[in-house]
Amino acid sequence: MFAEENGLFGDPRIKAISDAIRVVPHFPKPGIMFQDITTLLLDPKAFRYTIDIFVDRYRDKNISLVAGVEARGFIFGPPIALAIGAKFVPLRKPRKLPGEVISEAYVLEYGTDCLEMHVGAVQPGESVLIVDDLVATGGTLSAAIRLLERAGAEVVECACVIGLPLVKGNWKLNGVPLYVLVEPRLDDLERTL
C-alpha cells in the first residue's frame, strides 16, 4: 500500500520525498522515465524523512534482518536496520559475493537475472524486511522473497521508496505485503512528453 493510504495522507514529509526525486526522460533508453533517487540523497531533510517513515513503520515489528536489493536497497536498508536493531544482508547480482552463495533466478521483460546472498546469512525463522528503491512489476522483489524463504526466513514485508502505477492495487507479492512511500510525480512526466 502507499504510505498516504495508511495514515500519512497529507503528511508534508511524503511531498518532500516526492519533490526530491528527479525524473530523467528517456534514460537509459527511449520511452523510460527514470526515477532518479540521487537527488533525494542530496536533500538531507528528504532523505531523513524517508528513513524515519520506514523506521516508524518497522520499529516494533520484531524484524531481525533487513535485506537490501542491489544496488539502491543498499542505500536505504542499512540505516533502517541500524535504527530498528536488525542486521543487514545484501542481495547481490551474480558473482559479486565471495564464498558460498544461494541464488534465485528471475525473468525480466527482456531476459533473466539472478539475486544471490551468502549461505548462512539468514537463519531459519528470522523475520525479514526487504528494501529497494523502486518497484515496477515486482519481479525482483518476488525473487528476493523466494530466495529468503528458501533460506528459511519469514518475509514480513517489502518496502520501496517509489512504486510505479503498475503495482497500485497489487499490495502483495508472493503473499507478502508491499509498502511504498510515493508514486512518480505525474507533473514531471507530463512536462517531458
What's the pLDDT at 167? Answer: 58
Phi, psi of 106 (to 5 degrees): -150, 160
Q: Are 134 and 124 in contact (CB under 8 A)?
A: no
Domains in the chain, ordered, with CATH?
2-191 (3.40.50.2020)
Q: Which of 13, 48, 70, 72 is catalytic?
A: 72
109 as an active site residue: the answer is yes
For the chain, which ranges sit under pLDDT 50? 187-193
The three cell numbers of residue 25 are: 526522460
Q: Which of 95, 100, 109, 190 is catalytic?
A: 109
From the list 170, 95, 100, 183, the residue with the least C-alpha distance to 139 is: 170
What's the pLDDT at 166? Answer: 66
What's the pLDDT at 169? Answer: 63
Q: Are 21 and 39 in contact (CB under 8 A)?
A: yes
What's the pLDDT at 110? Answer: 72
Q: Are 101 and 131 in contact (CB under 8 A)?
A: no
